[in-house]
C-alpha cells in the first residue's frame, strides 16, 4: 500500500516536471531562435549576450568570442536545445505513464512493455543525439580558449552511454513481455 502512494506521488511529480520543462524549453528555444533571426530585437537585447548551454561544463569568457556570433554555431545550439528538451520531455512523459500504470494496475501489463521499449528508443536516439551535439558545441568552444603552456583534448564519446542505456531498456522491456505473457497465461489457466 505504501509503495502505491510513492508511485502515485512520483507520477504526479513527473507530470509537474513535464509542464515546467515544457515552459522552460519553449522560452529557451524562442530566445535561441531570436538570437539567430532577430538579433537586434528588443527581446534579444533584454536577454543580453548569447551564451550557449553546455551540459557537463561551464565556460565563462571575459569577452564574448567570435564563435558565439557565428550563425552556424547558433543554429547548432538551437538544434541542441530542441533535441535536449524533446529528450527530457519524452523521458518525463514516459516515466509518468509507467508510474501511473504501476500504480493503477501493476508492473506486469502490456502497456508497461511498450512504455519501456519507447523509453529505450528515446535514450538510444534522443539521448545519444543530445550528448553528441553537446560534445560538438563544447569542442567548438574549446577552440576559442586562449591557453598557454597547456593543451586540452576532448573526446566526444559520452553518447555511447545513452545507446547502451537504450539497449538495456529494450532488453528489460523484452524480459517484461515474457513475464507478462506468463502472468496472462497463468490467469487463463486459473
Taking CA atoms, 92 is separated from 5, 99, 105, 161, 181, in Å, by: 19, 10, 20, 19, 27
Q: Residue 53 CA to chain centroid, in angstroms?
A: 13
- In angstroms and rounded to an integer, the radius of gyration of the C-alpha atoms of the chain is 21
What percent of the chain clears pLDDT 90, i.e. is strictly above it?
45
Q: Which set of grid coordinates corresponds to residue 181?
A: 505473457
- Residue 158 or residue 167, greater confidence: 167
Q: Distance between CA 154 and CA 56 in Å, rounded?
A: 12
Mean pLDDT for 17-40 is 92
What pLDDT, on a 0 to 100 scale, did the predictor assign at position 25?
A: 93
What pLDDT, on a 0 to 100 scale, did the predictor assign at position 190?
A: 64
Mean pLDDT for 154-178 is 90
Any residues with CB less than 8 A from the CB of 109 and at least 6 apart, and which?
101, 180
What pLDDT, on a 0 to 100 scale, did the predictor assign at position 16?
A: 96
Our count of domains for the chain comes to: 1
User: Does residue 111 register a pLDDT over 90?
Assistant: no
Instruction: Residue 173: give the domain boundaries.
Output: 2-189
What pLDDT, on a 0 to 100 scale, did the predictor assign at position 1?
A: 59
User: Does residue 61 register a pLDDT over 80?
Assistant: no
Task: Give rounded-to-5 percent helix, strand, coil for the chain.
Answer: 75, 0, 25
Taking CA atoms, 60 is separated from 18, 64, 84, 145, 171, in Å, by: 30, 9, 21, 10, 41
Q: Distance between CA 165 and CA 123 in Å, rounded?
A: 7
- DSSP result, 113-138: HHHHHHHHHHIIIIIHHHHHHHHHHH
Q: Which of 54-68, 115-129, 174-188 has the lowest mean pLDDT?
A: 54-68
Q: Which set of grid coordinates corresponds to residue 31?
A: 530566445
Amino acid at each position: 500500500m505504501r509503495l502505491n502512494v510513492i508511485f502515485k506521488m512520483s507520477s504526479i511529480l513527473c507530470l509537474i516536471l513535464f509542464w515546467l520543462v515544457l515552459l522552460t524549453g519553449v522560452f529557451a528555444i524562442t530566445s535561441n531562435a531570436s538570437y539567430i533571426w532577430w538579433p537586434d530585437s528588443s527581446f534579444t537585447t533584454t536577454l543580453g549576450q548569447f551564451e550557449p548551454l553546455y551540459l557537463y561544463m561551464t565556460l565563462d569568457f571575459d569577452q564574448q568570442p567570435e564563435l558565439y556570433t557565428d550563425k552556424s554555431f547558433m543554429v547548432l545550439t538551437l538544434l541542441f536545445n530542441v533535441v535536449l528538451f524533446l529528450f527530457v520531455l519524452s523521458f518525463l512523459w514516459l516515466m509518468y505513464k509507467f508510474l501511473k500504470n504501476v500504480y493503477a494496475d501493476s508492473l506486469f501489463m502490456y502497456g508497461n512493455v511498450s512504455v519501456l521499449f519507447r523509453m529505450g528508443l528515446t535514450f538510444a536516439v534522443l539521448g545519444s543525439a543530445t550528448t553528441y551535439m553537446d560534445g560538438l558545441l563544447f569542442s567548438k568552444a574549446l577552440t576559442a580558449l586562449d591557453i598557454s603552456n597547456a593543451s586540452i583534448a576532448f573526446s566526444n564519446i559520452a553518447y555511447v552511454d545513452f545507446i547502451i542505456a537504450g539497449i538495456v531498456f529494450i532488453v528489460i522491456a523484452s524480459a517484461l513481455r515474457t513475464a507478462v505473457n506468463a502472468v496472462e497465461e497463468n490467469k487463463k489457466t486459473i
